Structure 1
Amino acid sequence: MAADSSHETTPLLPNAEQEDLTHNTDTMGSTLLWKTGAVFGATAVGLGAFGAHGLKKHISDPNKLANWSTAAQYQLVHSVALLVASNNPVAGALFTAGMTMFSGSIYALTLDTERFRFMGPVTPLGGLCLMAGWLALAFGKRGAGMRWPRF
């Protein structure tokens, strides 16, 4: 016996209005992650330049300057990773937390080791978040990070 389809109201193919509604709700989080990645990237360039030029006037320890450079490099690389992960909220959150904890704690410790000594344990936690972000990309929905958000 054939099913009566006269009461079906959902079309098989979505219309443009339905696609826009779905796309808008899907991209709200991805737009935030995209903008966060772009801001983190811009600040990484600025902080890297500050470390290469302005910080040398105040800090003479080459190890501290190298640490600052490492923090800026990791922040910049993971800013790009955050752009790629803009449609993977788990990876995006892990990259954001990881950059904040890893690079942020290194910046603080470089500027004033004694004052920010308590942040020492934060650095490896940030590194773990960065690694977990890469794993979230690897094992998340395939291709989820490759759709660029519409603004």
Structure 2
Amino acid sequence: MHLGSIYLIVRDFNKSVRFYEKLLEMSVSSQNMQRFAQFEFNGKNISIMNGYFDAMNPNLTVRKGEYVEEFDNLVAIVEAENTHKFVLNLWTENLEQERDRIKQLDISGQLTSIKYINNVSPYYYFQLTDPDGNVIEITGQYSPQRGEFDE
């Protein structure tokens, strides 16, 4: 088994592509019309799928095989409530610098402070949301200020 791609079904394709280009500091690696865009990381992909494309362009998509509403109705999927059961985790060498960079970009209405959790080893992270409300967690090296996370 090998990871092909993780893809997010989005409401506003162009807005999501711009968001991820800024967040990831890279351009789209490949794109299929306004339907699908990929960001490639050493053979692994995060992809953006336009949840409305197929319904708006039925002449551009040929489907064969069983139609399963739960999997194949992309409009219903993109319009469903986001339950936050999916978290996209990214890491960086310098957590504080990355959080400052993302704050400067002003690309998310939700951006947390740096947090700490320890269940096996110390773990520092912050979170933000993409245009569809998907949670992104960014982890990395961090040296807390004196007393910052004291109990």
Bigger strand fraction: 2
Bigger Rg, structure 1 or 2: 1
What TM-score, normalized by structure 1, do the two folds share?
0.25
Query: Where is the helix percentage greater, Structure 1 or Structure 2?
Result: 1
- Report the TM-score when normalising by structure 2: 0.25
- With a CA cutoff of 8 Å and minimum separation of 6, indicate the structure with the bigger relative contact order: 1
